[in-house]
Structure 1
């Protein structure tokens, strides 16, 4: 495989992983509320969850879904419902970073589960594996998954780091509420797009 092929794989993984989406928004808000280090459980879980989805897509999940179109509709509906729920939670948040309540950051398991409910993750896994993994046999599937793991981890971690850096500027309930509502609007627009697309 040529260097150009590796660069192509890496570019696809970076574009799909770093672009805004529900998992990255959760990483950003987790960094804001809990700091960078406390966000690493979510970052790791989301990366492992996505990589498992990607790997399974290459090993036959995508083919199975093509044979059972009903499953694709169920996954799409669950994804839209998850996005609506996430938008609602962000919209209703009161904006207080420190309100005296002990809140735990999203767990590793929660991060992994979010990827399986994330329509963006399904699209990236199936499209990416179709473009870069399936034509080279099992070895290529594993290689693409390993490369994607590294890029995905760094990308989600960058969102968590950005959130931690923004904490100083958003440590005001009004500004934080406005920020959360802007994020909620983005997530709601994604849900709307996916609902009408399917």
Structure 2
């Protein structure tokens, strides 16, 4: 069943360090959680637009070019393996050097269209996990909403527990990154084993 690999992929991709999470954590530490919620609201809106665009793009494209699904699976799988290796080999984050607070809704929204992690998250999740189990426009809307909610939960977690989470990561970053990388590899392999 595709739902477990989809959730694994979504949770691992969303909760691992990335631009949205780092900015949320940094903003919350310097500006407070209340002001950071404007940025997170922009992230939510931008992420939802990207998920919907990829859902309906895939829905329109799939009947006309059947082989694209296989190619998207391969590209998504390769990206997940690349991301897993990058996560497992990553060095400690230096969040202290990011001292500019970007706490606006507008920045959060626009930034999603330049954020490769969110764009590839949408491409991979929709084409590799969602399209094989559903092509109903209503279900695509709900999957897009679900993927967005998981991403926003990650942003809020990093914002709310930024200091505590950063301290924990500084002590246990290597094992944490190894586990996240292995879970991402599991998600990549499951694209082909679930068929």
Bin the TM-score by the shorter chain. Answer: 0.5 to 0.7
What CA distance in whole angstroms lies between the structure 2 residues aligned with 1:196 and 1:81?
Answer: 13
Q: Is the 8 A contact 2:76 2:123 kept in 1?
A: no
Q: Does 1:157 align with 2:152?
A: yes
- In the TM superposition, 1:1-198 aligns within 5 A as 16=7, 20-25=11-16, 26=18, 27-35=20-28, 36-37=36-37, 38-61=39-62, 64=65, 66=67, 69=70, 72-89=73-90, 91-94=91-94, 97-99=95-97, 101-102=99-100, 107-111=111-115, 113-118=116-121, 122-133=124-135, 140-141=136-137, 143-170=138-165, 172=167, 175-178=168-171, 180-193=173-186
User: TM-score, normalization: structure 1?
Assistant: 0.61
Q: Is the 8 A contact 1:57 1:125 kept in 2?
A: yes
Give 5+ residue unaligned stretches, structure 1. 1-11, 134-139
Change (3 A) 1:181 1:53: farther
Change (3 A) 1:73 1:190: same
SS at match of 1:64: coil
Q: Is the 8 A contact 1:31 1:39 kept in 2?
A: yes
Change (3 A) 1:161 1:167: same
Change (3 A) 1:116 1:166: same
Superposition RMSD in Å: 3.9
Shift of 1:166: 0.9
Give 5+ residue unaligned stretches, structure 2. 29-35
Change (3 A) 1:16 1:57: farther
SS at match of 1:109: coil
Shift of 1:151: 2.9
What CA distance in whole angstroms lies between the structure 1 residues aligned with 2:48 and 2:139?
Answer: 14
